[in-house]
Chains A and B, each alone.
Chain A
Amino acid sequence: MRGIHKRFGATHALRGVNISVEPGEVMALVGENGAGKSTLMKVLSGAHAPDEGSLFLDGSPYTPGNPLHAREQGIAMIYQELSLAPHLSVMENILLGIEPTRRGLILWDEMKSRATAALSTVGLHKLSPETPVNQLSIAHQQLIEIARAVALDCRVLVLDEPTSSLASKDIEKLFALVRSLSEKGISVIYISHFLEEVQALSHRYTVLRDGETVGSGQTAEAGDETIISLMVGRDVNDLYPRSQRNPGSIALRTNQLAGIHKPRSASIQLRKGEVLGIAGLVGAGRTEFLDILFGLEPIASGGVTIGTFSGAALPAQRWQQGVGMVSEDRKTQGLALGLSIADNLTLPKLDELGPGRLVIPSRQVKVCAPWIERIPIKCQSARQSVSDLSGGNQQKVAIARLLHADVDILLLDEPTRGIDVGSKAQIYQLIDSLAQGDPSEGHEAKAVLIVSSYLPELLGICDRIAVMCRGQLSEAKPVEDWDERQLMATAIGQE
């Protein structure tokens, strides 16, 4: 792929990307969230057409018009979110779209034998091809997706963060499978931001940053330091502001809080004027912890105290108690994409927008103006639909909602996931100024609880960090006592 450019409206997602992968090679594609990895892979798989640049497959130009075309050319993608039809059987999933037929009728015997062959390649000899996919574990479902690629005789296999939902035992198996596939001459593009995985698996690496290729080389010759500095590419201290903060009274306290499944036990004390981070692996129970605090999920045992209120409450009551939450997934949970910025921003607090229970649209727009300017949100007007905005600006709308509701406690779940570096910096600035407060303007310091998988960010902006490991929240320690290695070790339960 040479000189690939891709723009989405005002966002320039890819600005000149070059990557190449040899037959039988495992090439690791690394970069921060929002660096353009996923967009690049969508171009490769035909889901998006590039605005500029060209693609070559075996030396000849390759222009996939759509994902099916790309599959026919032997390019198979395995996305982070699995794309299986849960109600269909294993073999139907493996041969989906390429079912062997004669005069329109499915040849079940051939289907079974081809599926069995593909299954044995991925090491699932014992699995019956007739099992419905929804009875399988996540790890096995992922292997079914790889079997689907194998059944297609793929030449290029793309794996997008394949280990994010796997246990360590399954990760080992996956690695062995990837190695054996590459020995058969299949090219593998392995997307990850876990450098250990890159070191363990890949022959070469390519680093993307802000939509550009910033470096590539032999993995064996590059240390973690080299790759990290390429990924970050800037002085970390500039990105993360941390002004003098003065923690005040306790705003939120939990005592061995447990949910139905997760978390098992979480105790924290969060003060006003303080940013508390929660690190941990995806699926450790961090999101569930916030959901319970905010009343989206029930409390199984333990206590919550928010200000002077104790015990469980519904989200509507939490807003009244001065708590606001930004959810992990802004597209499916956080925002009503079809509605306007004004509608989204004012949704939790529609009072004072008209006499009585009325909501006057022009006033709704007017109250948004200061937030749009202060944060700032890049938009044409507050009446614009949220779906028109870039990811970073969408996220800023989600945060502005809390400010409009004038909350004292902000619960932020992955607030900077998948957004551009510029927006990230603005959000860090905002968090810092909220935690600091501004007595001259009468803004009290706020309490911020932030969940993130991105460790540099936590280390950069938090005062204290606690780690969630398998539903158990560790004690919160001052940020000076942590480094990335310790956080990760605690997250995987080795400390």
Chain B
Amino acid sequence: MPNALKTNPFKTLQSKAWFNLGARFLALIIVFLFFAIFVEDGKFYTLRNLENIVRQSSVYATAALGMTFVIITAGIDLSVGSIIALAVVVVAWTLNIQIDGPNGELVYLVHQYPFATPLLACVLAIAASSLVGLFNGALIVRLKMVPFIVTLGSMGIIRGLAKGIANERDIYPPEETWIGSLMDPTLTNKAKSWMLLPAGVWILIVCIGIASFILKYTRFGRHVYAVGSNEETARLCGVPVGRTKLIVYALTGFFCALAGFMQFSYIGGVGQPTTGIMYELFVIAAVIIGGASFSGGEGSILGTIIGALIITILYMGGQQMGWPKWVQEMVIGGIIILAVAVDRLRHRKLA
């Protein structure tokens, strides 16, 4: 058979990837239409509700960016919910730091430096979260432990640490700051409507761009796919397998910190150590619905974002339909299984 073919094979192969993404997008539309039709009085497609969907899904989606990297390397990170809580608590804790004032009395740092203190909070939270990710990665790479077990353990450790820093209570910062208003509504709030979308959502959009670019166009991104597709091959080809995995888990920590900032703002600027419980499941579900495979080597950022939107719409739509909590939970669980089952069937057909 000659190498030159009649049809342009590039187009067919490229379009296969777009077809996968398109099918997911279609599923998203169907889920959305379902609630748009069945939630009474058109409440579901009000501006306020759409905005809420975007705000809520941003938290999942941001954490899911890191998880996409991890799952492409055939790993898993169960500690994301706890890392988000850690970031939330560290932010609130930093905003509550007190220092000696000019007259010897204690004053809040944030009152002295209303802009710089939240920035310090972000830096500390990012550092703490990325360190947790590095810690996960180091155990997985150096001690050759299974990611599931390592992150199951750190899920408990980090949740405990967050509660410890917060003394098992919610931390209320003394002052509203810009970090607490990251996710403030914009479309329904005249004063901020020039921003179009909340600042946190803009951060997410930038991150989507960067993460997609890294995965597709950088050496590190290609290494992530190679490690997940066949670790032995990657090692044989001189890919720094350990370092790639380490970075991937650290990245998850980093993105969880960003998700934590959004969560901090979304729950009203409170340092709640019990926030983000079960988020790991929503985040993993978003990545899997987005087309990644637990056996590694597959997955895309755009797919993950669609997955996060589907999960959020199901969750919020179910609430607005007045479904009891137990029905909501069963529906979301069912959708996850359905998504993976459809994927398997498709794979079998291709093979």
Contacts and interface: CB of A to CB of B under 8 A. Distances in A.
Interface of A: 10, 294, 296, 314-319, 325, 327, 332-339, 343-344, 347-348, 350-351, 354, 357-361, 365, 372-373, 376, 378-381, 383-384, 401
Nearest to B297: A338
Interface stretch (B41-49, B120-128, B151-159, B234-242): B234-242
Contacts of A325: 236
Nearest to A376: B3
B160 interface: no
Interface string B135-149: 000000000000000
B236 A339 contact: no
B194 interface: no
A336 B74 CA distance: 13
Contacts of A360: 217
B222 interface: yes
B219 A379 contact: no
A335 B1 contact: no
B221 interface: yes
Contacts of B311: none
Contacts of A338: 229-230, 297-298
B10 interface: yes
A401 B238 CA distance: 12
A274 to B, nearest CB: 24
Interface residues on B, range: 20 to 34
Given A336-B233, A383-B13, A343 B3 contact: no
Task: Kindly name the residue among B1, B216, B221, B236 whose own CB sees the greatest number of chain A CB atoms within 10 A.
Answer: B236
Given A333-B236, A350-B219, 14 more contacts: A327-B236, A332-B232, A333-B232, A334-B236, A336-B230, A338-B298, A344-B233, A347-B239, A351-B219, A372-B3, A380-B5, A380-B9, A380-B13, A384-B9
Given A332-B232, A359-B222, A379-B3, A347 B237 contact: yes
B193 interface: no
A455 B134 CA distance: 50
Given A347-B226, A347-B239, A383-B13, A358 B1 contact: no
B220 A336 contact: no
Given A361-B216, A379-B3, A333 B237 contact: no
Contacts of A327: 232, 236
A76 to B, nearest CB: 27
B236 A357 contact: no
B218 interface: yes
A339 B226 contact: yes
A383 B226 contact: no
A465 B92 CA distance: 71
18 contacts: A315-B236, A325-B236, A333-B232, A336-B226, A338-B298, A347-B234, A347-B239, A348-B239, A357-B218, A358-B218, A359-B218, A359-B219, A365-B10, A372-B3, A373-B3, A380-B9, A383-B10, A383-B13
B230 A337 contact: yes
Contacts of A319: 237-238
B3 A347 contact: no
Contact of A401 (B5, B237, B240): B237
B222 A350 contact: yes
A365 B216 CA distance: 14
B216, B235, B298: residue with the most chain A Cβ atoms closer than 10 Å: B235
A448 to B, nearest CB: 17
B60 interface: no
A348 B238 CA distance: 6
Nearest to A354: B217
B255 interface: no
A383 B234 contact: no
B282 interface: no
Most chain-B CB neighbours within 10 Å: which of A318, A319, A325, A347? Answer: A347
Contacts of B69: none
A36 to B, nearest CB: 21
Given A376-B3, A383-B9, A383-B10, A343 B236 contact: no
A361 B217 contact: yes
Nearest to A295: B238
A18 to B, nearest CB: 29
Contacts of A373: 3
A316 B240 contact: yes
Contacts of A347: 222, 226, 233-234, 237, 239
A334 B297 CA distance: 15
A339 B232 contact: no
B167 interface: no
Most chain B beta-carbon contacts within 10 A, residue among A318, A333, A373? A333
Interface in B285-325: 297-298
A332 B236 contact: no
Interface centre among B5, B10, B218, B238 (most CB of A within 10 A): B238
A378 B4 CA distance: 10
A164 B10 CA distance: 44
Contacts of B221: 359
A325 B219 CA distance: 21
B237 A348 contact: yes
A335 B217 CA distance: 21
Contacts of B220: 357
A385 to B, nearest CB: 9
Contacts of B234: 336, 347
A411 to B, nearest CB: 10
B225 interface: yes
Contacts of B238: 314-319, 348
Contacts of A351: 219
A160 to B, nearest CB: 24
Nearest to B222: A359
Contacts of B233: 333-336, 344, 347
Interface string B1-38: 10101000110011000000000000000000000000
A160 B320 CA distance: 62
